Homo-oligomer: A and B are copies of this chain.
């Protein structure tokens, strides 16, 4: 143990010799680089380093490998399952200073960026060219972090997740070499899909230092609206029928009655407190009109409505900002409580059943947990609000989390649609994937990171 501590001190000394004041060891900065957003305990790293180039990252990896120092890549720290914690100590590699747009290839609908740029900053940069990057998790996360966690968001039903929108990456491997995962061509059948292997690997297989992203054209026309439903069932049925009938809906989001109450208060909306879909259609003027009308027919048949259309861009922005602030709105329902945001995803045919069963469990366990979801993908979130001083409530909350995952897995779903595994969901992977798949993941991890220094203690335990 003492040997390990000495080794860490030596690693920090070597990093400081190389990077000077870009290595920070103050308690405050270290604490900010562990988990801060959920009830997963904060486990700060021993130091934080701010690289400026891929070569810097290679040098950091070299020093850390020599001293057997864990390395934890850090974007904006908005992950929810303890992804950025340092359970075995180590260095947090903060990409704050690597946030440039390196190239925009408008003709090819792609761009090359550094991992530290956030999704909003990227979209600011792209707007003048009529382009945007559609993946939008609630937080203004960094693109490197979004790739590492296979993020998605409200647009995923139409535009896919990070797995569909990362074309290529530069990745510094545990041996210090820089791997290019793919070329810039739109498709390839040339060897193993290293891009998709790195997307979602949460920093456990290598450190992303550059990304080539697929872009989309800003639609000519956009229509957003809000539509109340008599029940969660009716809202889910409307969603299923929309997807089945091939309406290319761009966003279709469920907020349950409690979430609407929370969002009304936090985002100053005045919506009826019933299950509600937020929807958006993208296309030409004619196509958006046709999509809206077809969706309206489905809604009417299921007893939903009336629609409230946000026609002005500022109304639309306010609507989606409220949706993105759903987590914060949920937290404000119960000031002082800790929030545990979680997500599962099931085949869409089971969605209503899963949401209803979840609401029943929440009620039975006497808990407070608004629900919102990217229901076009069968994906929904709970923001579980827990008084951590109440031991019994904490116990009940933990039971709910287990039951939610059990429910999802029993319906052929996954323990996380988009938040990722981190530390919080490792315990569910065996039940979800089975021993052979988990052993395959561990074998891949050992093959690419034999010293287990790349974000150890996440996804697979070695």
Q: Which residues of A contact B (CB under 8 A)?
A: 105-110, 149-152, 156, 160-161, 163-164, 173, 177-194, 196-197, 199-201, 205, 216-217, 219-220, 240, 243-246, 248, 284, 286-287, 290, 345-349, 377-379, 408-409, 412-421, 425, 428-429, 432-441, 443-444, 446-448, 459-460
Contacts and interface: CB of A to CB of B under 8 A. Distances in A.
A438 B185 CA distance: 18
Chain A's interface: helix, strand, loop or mixed, by majority?
loop
Nearest to A245: B217
6 cross-chain pairs, A with B, having the tightest CB-CB distances, nearest first: A196-B196, A447-B447, A107-B349, A188-B414, A177-B436, A179-B436
A36 to B, nearest CB: 20
21 contacts: A107-B240, A108-B347, A108-B349, A109-B243, A109-B244, A149-B189, A150-B189, A161-B187, A164-B164, A184-B347, A185-B413, A186-B348, A186-B378, A187-B379, A189-B417, A190-B415, A190-B429, A191-B438, A217-B244, A217-B246, A440-B448
A240 B245 CA distance: 29
Contacts of A349: 105, 107-108
Contact of A190 (B181, B197, B421, B447): B421
A200 B196 CA distance: 12
Contact of A421 (B191, B197, B436): B191
Given A184-B412, A286-B290, A417-B188, A440 B109 contact: no
A430 to B, nearest CB: 11
A110 B161 CA distance: 18
A433 B197 contact: no
Contacts of A345: 185-188
A287 B286 CA distance: 8
Report which residue of A164, A183, A188, A439 has the largest number of chain B beta carbons within 10 angstroms of its beta carbon. A188
A390 to B, nearest CB: 30
